[in-house]
Structure 1
């Protein structure tokens, strides 16, 4: 009845408008009349659709009601996490669950909470309510990865990360988790330690030559060599060569390439035929990683098949298994994912960690004092429980999460109430670490790098802390990542206790401004440190 009433009312208004403007259209050409009429009908249909849409009650910019074009623009500009966070801040006062909060003893202005749910597109909302986030990402939950992930892989490749079918994901995760389990990673520690020590040596050589170290470059080399050595039994030796090869350049641009791939999936197959250099570059980058992974897996497989005493790697069990649960092509696709994710995330986190610590002498000196107390020949076990070291890493992961962007999920068919709003089934419900890690109630002065906030973290802080995702889709490489972060941070500040941010070659804070697609990177793709 409500729909019929609105429909009839709009028809009457439309009829009256046509009557009043009959003189205007009397001499107009038929095509103009048709075009204007079609536009009016389209406008009315959009208004009706929005009026009846259950998401119409959720706060957000007006343009999000009708199109996702502005959100897509922010995504391609590397600004979507900040844009969505600004919406949560803007609509925080409209939250149905809480009002202003003032900290006990505070004489400053009250802290405005972030809005629990904001609308970012006609059929997409972003969630910042912690209880709702836990429900979306809980183990065994019904919120499946959205079709966004179908477009991420090069030429439609499926990996553990972008597999949307929960049954197939569970099978794949079971096969791959053994290689990434902590019990297995511990045996690979000597290789990781040796690679980081070589990186320290190469950093020193660059400093001796030019008086400055580009840590973003060297952490990328280090992370790429660690993941390839652990995956294939031998590294790509980028640390030894110290050159930004086409592969390294591709890895540093991979996050942007993913953004292009997910935005224009139908155009990429025609990249070679279209006069669009960017699409050609995206396809060439994906092919470059695929080719190197294919070569490395093929070589390692031949060694396994010939009975040679091969080194233990992350893919050993899969390639040595008689049943061969994954095809060689599926293993290559997983290897591509390991190379891209294992290189970028660690390099980004280490770069922003070093930059943040070196900007604050008191933080640096406290960290140096702690790691200097370690004996020579220390192991990961020796540093795993260092209090301040862990606080520094946690704060780097909070403020400079390598994956700060939306993790879109599909609301189950029956719909759900999230953050005080009913969300119909089929809607995309996203969560982003960028906003969760900047909740002003949980993390006061959230834009400040303050490791001491982790001295006594609350249960709510821990729940909001998601640098590696959550639930069954949490990052499988978390143990390797922590090993690299612990050892690399310790070795760096033991070797370079006086490290500070450089101003040479025009280096400034703006260089470290974030470009955030799926992953992040410094705008200038460099971070210069003097030691």
Structure 2
């Protein structure tokens, strides 16, 4: 039976339109190599994102097809240092893609991460920079110290005390509890209490771990990504303060704590992130959003670096002995936590942290930027306006053989101490990009660095660790924009100071 003429015509139109669109997509970035399917569809990128190993897949693409390669009809990935700096420079004309709109905590209000319009972003960053960096927080280090004392008390009372049932500790979970309590104290004025309770409060970690694969899928599929950015859709699907568990419950807790701070129920003399935001004109809703962003982004990324550093320290006797020797020689009194100023004077500790930051970049999101209306040219290759450029941080840092030498894929802190002045300068130039660049540089870098200095020093001088599964130290290690890591099981014993 023949099809009606109108239906035959409609189907023919669809076939012709699809062929035209496919050819047009292919021609747009035809000068850039990449997986074959990437010229015609986003299937390769969607599959890589859902694999939980997108950082590795993107690194393989850059290794095979060049430092800037095609991974979608309108998307490039780069590990080129100069292009990375260009797309993040203040006056480059590049802007953040609408991908970031999915990070709104309120459908009708932007935060410093979700803001894409350059002037609005610049204005927002000016208002929150002092708070995020901790420069207006006189209690910054003492807040971190209190969280560390809580961790030590928990371990001594529950895990390593005489007669305790087990010396078996999940460092993956403990590092997240620690960073959550530190960042919540800095952003809210008091800890959420993960360490005091020794549990996943509000099932926050569990629900985030369960939800991130779905969030990654929706951000990778263009039509779903656009749908999720519609405010009315966000209002329906976003976590609600009425939720019993997860991010919605955490939003409710943050709102309650911020309200108490602003109403004067807490001590007025405390200078911290909340009062810095108030000082710079943020509304209560904006303060709640920035506090949520700090808790989400600031805890997971720092916890990732702590886990990775501890794995490579504990598993390598040479690194373990040298770092512990340096910590012991510092002779910090037992009843004190090392200051950041003192930690900065310890060369091997600094080398270990530098190496951890570049060897396993915690910021695994791809930071998509949009080429300006006039287009751009890089290395003689024209990039059309509207093209999306993402970044492969794994190749940019861990596998950057040009900067770090032929053993860049090896965790070796000594490279920072043995390098010639010329090599050291080259490494530092590359390493400076770990926390971003230009107008998109991480606002929490200072806090993260101080946290890493204090935590690693104190753990190594106060405790001895033994990996229970050296061949597979983590039970789970996947990347869905952030690294979801669990099951870093160790045996821990207190050292005699």
Q: Per the shorter chain, which TM-score range?
A: 0.7 to 0.9
Please name the residue that 1:56 is paired with: 30
Equivalent in 89, 94, 117 of residue 165 of structure 1: 117
Which one of 197, 208, 227 corresponds to residue 183 of structure 2?
A: 227
Q: 2:377 is paired with a residue of what secondary structure?
A: strand
- Residues 185 and 480 of structure 1 are in contact (CA less than 8 Å); yes or no, is this contact kept in structure 2? no
- Whether the 8 Å CA contact 2:77–2:389 is kept in 1: the answer is yes
1:453 aligned to 380, 391, 415, which one? Answer: 415
- Take 1:162 and 1:474, find their aligned partners in 2: how far apart are those partners? 14
2:142 maps to which of 157, 181, 190: 190
Q: Does residue 529 of structure 1 match 2:495?
A: no
The equivalent of 2:495 in structure 1 is none
Provide closer, same or farther for how the CA distance between residues 120 and 188 of structure 1 changes in structure 2, counting only shifts above 3 A: same
- Whole-angstrom CA distance in 1 between matches of 2:260 and 2:375: 49
Distance (Å, rounded) in 2 between the aligned partners of 1:467 and 1:38: 49
Aligned CA distance change for structure 1 residues 454 and 425 (closer, same or farther; 3 Å): same
Q: Deviations over 1:225-268 (max 9, x none)?
A: 11111122211111011012213434555754642553545369
Provide the secondary structure at the position in 1 that maps to 2:382.
strand
Which of 102, 118, 129 is the matching residue for 2:69?
118
In 2, Cα distance between the equivalents of 1:372 and 1:151?
46
**Structure 1 pair 258–48 and aligned structure 2 pair: CA distance change class (3 A):** closer
Cα distance in 1 for partners of 2:101, 2:253 equals 23
In structure 2, the residue matched to 1:390 is: 350
Instruction: Work out the CA distance in 1 between the residues paired with 2:371 and 2:112.
Output: 21
Which of 206-215 and 474-483 deviates more? 206-215
**Partner of residue 501, structure 1:** 467
The answer as to whether partners of 1:85 and 1:434 remain within 8 angstroms in 2 is: yes
What is the TM-score normalised by the length of structure 2? Answer: 0.85
Equivalence for 1:20: none
* Distance change >3 Å, CA 404–CA 29, structure 1 → 2: same
Whole-Å separation in 2 of the counterparts to 1:64 and 1:257: 22
- In the alignment, the residues of structure 2 paired with residue 341 and residue 382 of structure 1 have an alpha-carbon distance, to the nearest angstrom, of 27
For the residues of structure 2 that align with 1:247 and 1:493, how far apart are their CA atoms?
Answer: 29
1:257-298 deviations in Å (ceiling 9; x for gaps): 642553545369669999xxx99x999744223212211111
Q: Is the 8 A contact 1:232 1:315 kept in 2?
A: yes
Structure 1 position 127 matched with structure 2 position 127: no
Answering whether residue 355 of structure 2 is matched by residue 402 of structure 1, we say no
Match of 1:464 in 2: 430
Residue 88 (structure 1) aligned with residue 62 (structure 2): yes
Q: CA deviation at 1:47?
A: 4.8
Displacement, 1:415?
A: 0.9
1:518 positional shift: 1.6
1:201 aligns with 2:164: no
Q: Offset at 1:427?
A: 0.7
- Give 1:39 shift: 5.9
Q: Is the 8 A contact 1:180 1:476 kept in 2?
A: yes
Query: Following the alignment from structure 2 to structure 1, what is the Cα–Cα distance between the partners of residues 381 and 44?
Result: 23
Q: Given the two structures, how large is their TM-score scaled by the length of structure 1?
A: 0.80
C-alpha separation between the residues in 1 aligned to 2:138 and 2:403?
34
Q: For residue 491 of structure 1, what is the aligned residue in structure 2?
A: 458
Using a 3 Å threshold, how does the CA distance of structure 1 residues 179 and 430 change in structure 2: closer, same or farther? same
Taking the aligned partners of 1:136 and 1:340, their CA distance within structure 2 comes to 25
3-state SS of paired residue (2:114):
coil
Query: Could you tell me how far apart the structure 2 residues matched to 1:360 and 1:499 are?
Result: 12
Stretch moving more, 372-381 or 231-240:
372-381
Asked if 1:475 corresponds to 2:442, the answer is: yes
Corresponding residue SS for 1:184: coil
Shift of 1:519: 1.3
Q: Which deviates the most, 386-395 or 77-86? A: 77-86
Q: 1:405–1:434: 8 Å Cα contact kept in structure 2?
A: no
Superposed displacement of residue 151, structure 1: 1.7
| Counterpart-to-counterpart distance in 2, 1:519 and 1:78 | 10
Which residue number in structure 2 is paired with residue 366 of structure 1? Answer: 322
2: CA distance, partners of 1:201 / 1:285: 27
Displacement of 1:513: 5.7
Point out the more displaced range, 261-270 or 430-439.
Answer: 261-270
Give the 5 Å matches for 1:223-372: 223-245=179-201, 246-250=203-207, 255-256=212-213, 258-260=215-217, 262-263=219-220, 264-265=224-225, 266=227, 285-303=246-264, 308-319=267-278, 321=279, 325-372=281-328
Structure 1 residues 232 and 46: alpha-carbon distance in aligned structure 2, compared to 1, 3 A threshold: closer
Is residue 44 of structure 1 aligned with residue 27 of structure 2? no
Aligned to 1:15: none
Which residue of 2 is the match for residue 9 of structure 1?
none
Gaps of 5+ in 2: 493-497
More off after superposition, 400-409 vs 69-78: 69-78
**Equivalents in 1 of 2:102, 2:68: separation in Å?**
26
The CA distance in 2 between the partners of 1:479 and 1:349, in whole Å, is 15
RMSD: 3.0
8 A Cα contact 1:224 1:236, kept in partner: yes
Partners of 2:131 and 2:192 lie apart in 1 by 20
In structure 1, distance between residues paired with 2:87 and 2:228: 32
Deviation at 1:463, TM superposition (A): 3.1
| Maintained 8 Å contact 2:473/2:487 | no
Q: Which whole-Å CA distance do the structure 2 matches of 1:373 and 1:183 have between them?
A: 30
Decide whether aligned partners of structure 1 residues 435 and 419 sit closer, same or farther in structure 2, where only a CA change above 3 A counts: farther
Structure 1 Cα separation of the partners of residues 186 and 263 of structure 2: 17
With over 3 angstroms needed to count, the CA separation of the structure-2 counterparts of 1:283 and 1:132, relative to structure 1, is farther
* Alignment partners' CA distance in 1, 2:260 and 2:213: 30
Counterpart Cα distance in 2 of 1:348 and 1:354: 10
Higher-Rg structure is 1
